[in-house]
Amino acid sequence: MGQAGIMPKSAVVRTACINIWDLPLQILLRNHPEWCKKPVAVVEEEQPLSPILWLNAAAIRAGIKPGMRYSSALSLDQGLCAGTISDQEIHFTIQNIHMVLDHFSPCVEPSREDPGIFWLDASGLNLLYSSLKNWASQIQSSILRLELKASIVVGFSRFGTYAIAKGKKAMVVMPTMEVENYESNRVHLQHFQLHSKLKKQLIKLAIHTVDDFLALPQESIVQHLGKQARDFYHFAMNEQSLPLQPQKLPESFQAQIELSRNESNSQSLLLRTSQLLIPLLNKIGNKGQVVVALRLEFRCENGTRCYHRIQAAEPTLNAKILLELVGLKLETITFIFPVVELYLEAEGVCFTDKKRSLFRENPIRDKSSAMRALARVRVEFGTNSVLIAQLKKGHLPEARFEWYRFDRLTIAKPRSVSIRSLIRRTYTHPRAVGDLLLKYPPSPISSHEYLINGGWWCREIRRNYRFVDTRKGETLWVYYDHRKHSWFVQGCVE
Amino acid sequence: MNDNVTGVRSLSNSNSMVSPAKTYTPLWCKSNYSFLEGASHPEELVDSCKNLGITSLSLTDRNGVYGIIRAHVRARDLDIHLIVGSQVSLQNGSDILLLAQNQEGYSQLCQLLTNGQLRSHKGECRVSWEEVCHHNPGLIALWIGESYPIKSTLSENYNSTFILEQLKSNFEDRLYVLLARHHHAEEPLREIQLRELANKLRVPTVAAVEVLYHVPERRRLQDVLTCIREGVTLPEAGQLIRPNDQYFMKSMDDMKRLFADDLVSLERTREISERCNFHLGEIHYRYPLERLPKGKTSIQYLEERTFEGAAQRLGDKFETQIPQLRKELTLIRELEYEGYFLTMFEIVEYCRRQNIICQGRGSAANSAVCFSLGITSVNPTQVNLLFERFLSRERAEPPDIDLDIEHDRREEVIQYVYRKYGRSHAAMVANVVRYRYRSAIREVGKVLGIPATSLDQLAKQVSHGNWNGTLFRNTGLDPENPIIRHLNILVREIQHFPRYLSIHPGGFLIGHLPIYELVPIENATKNRRTVIQWDKEDVENAGLFKVDLLGLGALNLLHRGFDLLSRYRQKELSLATIPRDDIATFDLICRSETVGVFQIESRAQMAMLRRMKPRSYYDLVVQISIVRPGPITGGMVHPYLRRRNREEYVTYPHESLIPVLKKTLGVPLFQEQVMQLAMVAADYTPGEADQLRRDMSAWRFSGRIDRHRGRLISRMVKKGIEKKFAKQVFEQIRGFGEYGFPESHAASFAHIAYATAYMRCHYPAEFICALLNAQPMGFYTPATIVNDARIHGIEIRSVDIRHSRWECTLEKIEDTSGKANIKNSNVGTKHKIFAVRVGLRYIRGFGKKDWDKLELAMSKAPFRDIQDIVQRSGINKGKLESLAVAGAFNCFGKERRYSIWDILGTKEYYQSPLLLKMDNPLPKFKSLGDLETICWDHQTSGHSVQGHLLKPRRSELTAQGIPTARELNRMSDGDTVKYVGLVISRQKPKTAQGVTFMTLEDETGFVNLVIWKQVFENNITLAKKLYYMGVTGKLQVGEGLVHLIVKSIWNPALDDQLLYLQSRDFR
């Protein structure tokens, strides 16, 4: 093959590839260590007809193959354990690995197409770690601490290291470019992230290894096998070997100040906050973002810390609005010990003109003012101070509605009510009836009562409800709880 | 709370004191035939009434009378007055109960429901209140208003006062307002409104409880059913499920307490009950009379056609059959069944006109009239069956004729029946699909919120009898977990509950009067089909009779075979003209070379053929009946074989039984014989025998057969039969109940079995070609059929784009002494004039529409090369690639890999209408090996004409000392052998007490394995998983049969390519 003549651009340029093989499967096994000796599969969904995406060796030994339906796989091995792994979980794990790898190389590039693959610039690191083998071993140990296994190949080219890392579950340092080429050309094409249709076509044509593939006439590849095959060909020929593209972790907007004079006065603290906030807003604005919320952290003289989250009525860069909310919050806080350090972090969000215009469309009512007012209430009385009730279709009085926090104000559309029923006020928690007439259970149920029972699948409930009049002229809404063997007042009738 | 309570506020109206009645009538009862709503069987509701001392009950299933026959049968037994009714959902979102006062009312109810059902999608019924008013005669209406769960489906112009006024003006004093109480919070207010309305319009009120289950314990199941219906889990259900468990059948005392303030309304339930006098026994059913030639009565016409047919079919024997024909016709006239026979005759005539092969089956085979009319090809004199078993004056039960029709043309006949009689007079019988363990686990488990993957695992492992804690533990579920405990109980409870209404495979109800006056008709899921609300058991219990039009693949096979004979050999053959008692055909059957032969091709039948060695038609009748669970569990097989082989004397337990058992050498083998045994040995009357037959078919569910035990045994002993034999007879009856096979059915099947064997024997190429074209059918896969054909000297040619058609075809072999000659072939060279060319229908993914495109392009000009096909056919490249993989383009002189490469590189017509030159350098591909070629064939078409998958591996296997199937079948009894073959069937019959039977195949034939329960369990993974299996065991040779008794199963080192193969498992 034509690889032999290609030499690395510089004799000292070394590239490493790390392959966390079968990453979703490893995450699943990390979540379920009790499954380690059983056949395990990662499925797309928790459904019998869901296809299998990843398998461990025990499952493969049982004859199960990726792509099979879970139900078909079960007929091969009824002990097959299966689970799903979300994209977020994979993303989160990749970020963790990335953070670990950042300690070992200034240049870490995660693969976009193949999750679990990372390229690292290893040039010159043999000087720092005594040898590249030692460097690789330390990386391997760090990944193992994350309860993950990886193959690490230190070599010379992107494709070479990638192919070997895909084909071998081991840690290898390539001595020369020729050895790397030889090894990478022997790797089976099934290990690569190619479209399944292309893989099947290649198998039919008896093209099994990288070497077989590179023997195809280059000019026919795109016509017969498509663009992906052509791209892979160029990749395998190291013709598109770009320098590594290090990826940085997301930037956070934060600032802190150590107070030379211990402060406990809210006005002084507000002033200090404004000193931190204004440059922070400039920085966020320059990045094309706006502030959704602020996170204020105070460190007091005695070492204690307190945190507060302040949410804006709408995303903004307006310092006045934000400081007004901070001021309100500070008024609610009493510092026993003076504050010695102030920390401010802003949560930013990209904000386009289109998004901004959505907030401007409010011709009839000044919804923004209402939103600002609610933001002030929230700041002053806590996040849970602004709630909205939503009707639910449960049987128990307490299951007929639910309180929700809400962020978006909508215009009320009251419906006309044809039949007015009794207005009942439900107590937050039913009150126990202590004595007198209602201490005996109702048996059998009388025509004055209605009965609610159910929930047998989790916690069985059985209540006999009735309305009773008191000497004070009140009408109470009471029930007998058969599980607790006592009467309770659910609420009262107006 | 310290306030003194002064009083409890009453939520109901003031009391009206009346003298208390002794009983009441539950007017609003829904059984589990209100699909996924009611939680008790109809029989349970009736039983519950009896236990509570209630004397009448109204069954009001939602939008139908689905469960009424079952309730009727039980109510008749328990002397309960059953009121027939239905809860009808109105289009405006409200509900009404309609109860039949008399037959007219019942008829009106059925019509109303039919109208509502036929205009709606399956499972829905839309009826307007105007229609209810229109159909009022003979009906009592109970106004419910909005029923639970109260949904926001009430239409905007819903005006209850107006509707009630209209109902009142139509129903007059037959209208009531229903007051239902279930201790529900919203009910008091609703009741007040209903009472106001009733007072205003002077409509009487009546008390009721909506009965959804017979005991409160079923409430949980009712909740689950509701969730299944609504597609939610229990925690999500909210108000979709009922608020409490007060929807059970209440006693009179309970009802008096519940309606203590309004006993008048409670008393009215009895009044309504007394006004409803309709009894289901009043249904008058008449079979339709055919259009008759002018001036002739139906019996005259039937006689004319019968004698005409008899003269043609019986020839010289016609005169001798006249007395029998007259006897049969007299009985038919007495029972007024002439319409039924004429209908069957008309359908058979239609099939004949349309060149559709059909044959009557069942007790029709006992009738000379059916033979004369051409309904059956079985001459009753040939099998000596008694006509009385077909029609009996004493039993007065409908005749049973099943008409088998070649399966791919059955729909034509069904649509003909609809056209001829109209959808009002003909509808198909329903089939109630019920919950079994697997469906119950999946649906109940889902409602309980158990992950679907766990349920799937559980459902895959469950079988009848292993539903216990071990099963849960094996699937990783904790049986002590409360949710799993609920699952355990609920899955048991829901067993046999109706799940949905499906359609019977071929049962038609045809009536002289519109069917919708007897039973509501509704739409089936399948387009252009309508179905009644009763299944075949209900139809039978209601005294109606049906016509069964069933599909049969073997008839299709024969039709195709006859057509090939006509086309290629100019020989006309039919079921009626196939030569009888052909020695060569029986020789073939005795050699058990019966792959593809109807009914006697399974492994068990093949094994029995070698023991039975049938030499006559009646031997085949016995052969077909003997390999059935009935005779096997009854221990009848070995005594019969010993007597047949003269190893044992033929004896009879009592001389009175000689006429019954003589033709089966003193051993009962047929279902009819068992019934006759009861009549002769235990003096059962025809009515009792009929009851026995019904109980036999139901014993598995209810144990009803056991009530015959004492009666049968004591009567037999009294008659002088030994007690031991009497007990044995009872056990036989028990065994037959579930699995018995009637002689009359076997007689018809034997006829088709003989015909297919004759074709196989004398025209093997035509037979194989027809068999491949009739697939899917029968017991074996195309791969096994092709392999077997090759072993027997038939040349099978692979798909070829220039020669293959859509279906398999015959091609003349130019050199008849050439390659088709194979050792051990039993086919004479005179027959080897045709080879079978495999059709393109066998290429997976290649459809008929693709073939049509290809055929059109070929009709214009033959294809020059692959590029020409891609350009002109308009078939997508993926499908052409499949053809290339199958070797269909080898005719262009290119190996398969190069054909694939060409197709991949060619642009389709729509991409480039101009021909592209392909002058790029050609890569060098590896040639396909033998194994690879065969595997590719299997991947694309499920079989290979190149050879068996094991053939390329034979030398390797021989080196390991592993014999072929042919060699193994020649070894001696007791030899210990190792064998490797492909699994073609796995079976675990219920009757075999855990023994598994497998058939393995190689390029030389089959090997039969017997795997004892313990061996199977020790090797369970390999035994269930492997398609390419290695076994070690001991040979058992005897009576011409070879079985390998397996000791161990192992995984032979195999090529990965063989892994995709599929076996036919556990049929």
Cβ-Cβ contacts under 8 Å, B904 against chain A: 201, 224-225
Cβ of residue B927 closer than 8 Å to a chain A Cβ: no
Looking at residue B777, its pLDDT comes to: 87
Q: For residue B915, which amino acid is it?
A: L
Cβ of residue A127 closer than 8 Å to a chain B Cβ: no
What would the mean pLDDT of A443-459 be, rounded to a whole number? 82
Cβ of residue A124 closer than 8 Å to a chain B Cβ: no
Cβ-Cβ contacts under 8 Å, B184 against chain A: 450-451
Reduced to 3 states (helix: H, G, I; strand: E, B; else coil), residue A324 is helix
Report the alpha-carbon distance of residue A19 to residue B155 in Å, rounded. Answer: 63
Of B240, B260, B476, Cβ closest to residue A447: B260
> Is residue B197 within 8 Å of B177, Cβ to Cβ?
yes
Structure token digits, residue A254: 């934060």
Looking at residue B490, its pLDDT comes to: 95
Cβ distance A48 to B456 less than 8 Å, yes or no, reads yes
Phi and psi at residue A53, in whole multiples of 5°?
-100, -45
> For chain A, percent helix, then strand, then coil, each to nearest 5?
35, 25, 35
* Preferred mutation among A188, A427, A457, A461 to probe B, highest tally of B CBs within 10 A: A457
Of A217, A421, A474, Cβ closest to residue B920: A217
Looking at residue B35, its pLDDT comes to: 94
Looking at residue A427, its pLDDT comes to: 87
Cβ of residue B931 closer than 8 Å to a chain A Cβ: no
Between chain A and chain B, how many beta carbons pairs sit less than 8 Å apart?
168
Cβ of residue A128 closer than 8 Å to a chain B Cβ: no
Q: In this predicted structure, which of A19-33, A63-77, B690-704, B796-810 has the lowest mean pLDDT?
A: B690-704
**A1 pLDDT more than 60:** no
The answer for A 18-47 residues in CB contact with B (under 8 A) is 43, 46-47
* Preferred mutation among A211, A225, A447, A474 to probe B, highest tally of B CBs within 10 A: A447
Looking at residue B991, its pLDDT comes to: 64
Q: Which of B813, B841, B1066 is nearest to B941 (CA)?
A: B841
Of A74, A447, A474, Cβ closest to residue B12: A447
Cβ-proximal residues to B276 (8 Å cutoff; 6+ apart), any chain: B58, B83, B84, B85, B99, B100, B101, B140
**A138 pLDDT more than 90:** yes
- Alpha-carbon distance values, B1019 to B25, B991, B1024, B1050, B1053 (Å): 61, 21, 8, 8, 17
Report the alpha-carbon distance of residue A310 to residue A383 in Å, rounded. Answer: 9
Cβ distance B235 to A393 less than 8 Å, yes or no, reads no
* DSSP string for B927-950: PPPHHHHHHHHHHHHS--SS--TT
Cβ of residue B184 closer than 8 Å to a chain A Cβ: yes
- Alpha-carbon distance values, B788 to B610, B753, B794 (Å): 18, 18, 9
Task: Enter the DSSP assignment of A186.
Answer: T
Cβ of residue B12 closer than 8 Å to a chain A Cβ: yes
What would the mean pLDDT of A12-21 be, rounded to a whole number? 88
Report the alpha-carbon distance of residue B413 to residue B422 in Å, rounded. Answer: 14
B446: part of which helix (H) or strand (E)? helix B437-447
**A293 pLDDT more than 50:** yes
* Preferred mutation among A50, A204, A475 to probe B, highest tally of B CBs within 10 A: A204
* Paired strand residues for B773: none
Task: Enter the DSSP assignment of B917.
Answer: P
Residue A147 Ramachandran class (φ > 0 left, ψ -120 to 50 alpha, else beta)? left
* DSSP string for A93-126: HHHHHHHHHTTT-S-EEE-SSSTTEEEEE-TTHH
Q: Where are the beta strands (DSSP E) in B668-732?
A: none
Cβ distance B7 to A434 less than 8 Å, yes or no, reads no
Could you identify the residue written with the tokens 């000044």? A366
Report the alpha-carbon distance of residue B3 to residue B647 in Å, rounded. Answer: 98
Cβ distance A452 to B185 less than 8 Å, yes or no, reads yes
What would the mean pLDDT of A346-354 be, rounded to a whole number? 69
Report the alpha-carbon distance of residue B164 to residue B195 in Å, rounded. Answer: 12
| Mean pLDDT of successive 10-residue stretches along chain B, which has 1067 residues | 45 44 89 95 96 95 95 93 94 90 95 93 87 95 77 60 92 94 89 92 95 96 96 92 95 92 94 93 72 79 91 81 86 84 90 91 76 84 64 66 90 91 89 93 94 83 72 80 93 94 88 88 84 90 85 94 93 88 93 92 86 90 83 78 88 81 85 79 76 65 70 85 80 65 84 95 95 91 91 92 93 63 46 87 92 91 86 87 92 90 75 53 86 89 88 88 91 91 83 81 90 85 81 84 89 60 44
Cβ distance B451 to A46 less than 8 Å, yes or no, reads yes
Reduced to 3 states (helix: H, G, I; strand: E, B; else coil), residue B816 is coil
Task: Enter the DSSP assignment of A230.
Answer: H
Cβ-Cβ contacts under 8 Å, A223 against chain B: 905, 920
Strands B1005-1011 and B205-208: unpaired
User: How many angstroms away from the CA of A173 is the closest CA of chain B?
Assistant: 33
Half-sphere exposure of B578 (CA within 13 A, CB side): 27
Report the alpha-carbon distance of residue A133 to residue A173 in Å, rounded. Answer: 6
Report the alpha-carbon distance of residue A217 to residue B923 in Å, rounded. Answer: 6
Selected residue with higher pLDDT from B444 and A66: B444
- How long, in residues, is chain A? 494
Looking at residue B1033, its pLDDT comes to: 93
Structure token digits, residue A474: 């009140």
The answer for A 385-444 residues in CB contact with B (under 8 A) is 392-395, 399, 419, 421, 431-438, 444
Task: Enter the DSSP assignment of B630.
Answer: H
Looking at residue A365, its pLDDT comes to: 62
3-state SS record for B259-295: CCCEHHHHHHHHHHHHHCCCCHHHCCCCCCCCCCCCC
B836: part of which helix (H) or strand (E)? strand B834-837
> Is residue B520 within 8 Å of B64, Cβ to Cβ?
yes
Of B4, B8, B925, Cβ closest to residue A205: B925
> Is residue A65 within 8 Å of A80, Cβ to Cβ?
no
Selected residue with higher pLDDT from A17 and A72: A17
The answer for B 991-1030 residues in CB contact with A (under 8 A) is 1021, 1024-1025
User: How many angstroms away from the CA of A440 is the closest CA of chain B?
Assistant: 14
Angle subtended at Cα B477 by Cα B471 and Cα B479, rounded to the nearest 5 degrees: 75
Cβ-Cβ contacts under 8 Å, A201 against chain B: 900, 904
Report the alpha-carbon distance of residue B503 to residue B705 in Å, rounded. Answer: 28
Q: In this predicted structure, which of A18-27, A344-353, B121-130 has the lowest mean pLDDT?
A: A344-353
User: How many angstroms away from the CA of B486 is the closest CA of chain A?
Assistant: 7
Cβ distance B925 to A458 less than 8 Å, yes or no, reads no
Q: Show contacts of A434-441: CB within 8 Å, 24+ apart.
A: A434/B1, A434/B2, A435/B2, A436/B2, A436/B4, A436/B5, A437/B4, A437/B5, A438/A468, A438/A478, A438/A480, A438/A487, A438/B5, A439/A486, A439/A487, A441/A480, A441/A482, A441/A485
Cβ-proximal residues to A460 (8 Å cutoff; 6+ apart), any chain: A453, A454, A483
Cβ distance B238 to A399 less than 8 Å, yes or no, reads yes
Cβ of residue A202 closer than 8 Å to a chain B Cβ: no
My answer on whether omega of the bond before B149 falls inside 30° of 0, hence cis, is yes
Phi and psi at residue B787, in whole multiples of 5°?
-65, -45
> Is residue A48 within 8 Å of B453, Cβ to Cβ?
yes
Reduced to 3 states (helix: H, G, I; strand: E, B; else coil), residue A216 is coil
The answer for B 415-474 residues in CB contact with A (under 8 A) is 448, 451-453, 455-457, 460-461, 474
> Is residue B695 within 8 Å of B701, Cβ to Cβ?
no
- How long, in residues, is chain B? 1067
Cβ of residue B150 closer than 8 Å to a chain A Cβ: no
The rounded percent of chain A whose pLDDT value lies above 70 is 87
Q: What's the pTM?
A: 0.74
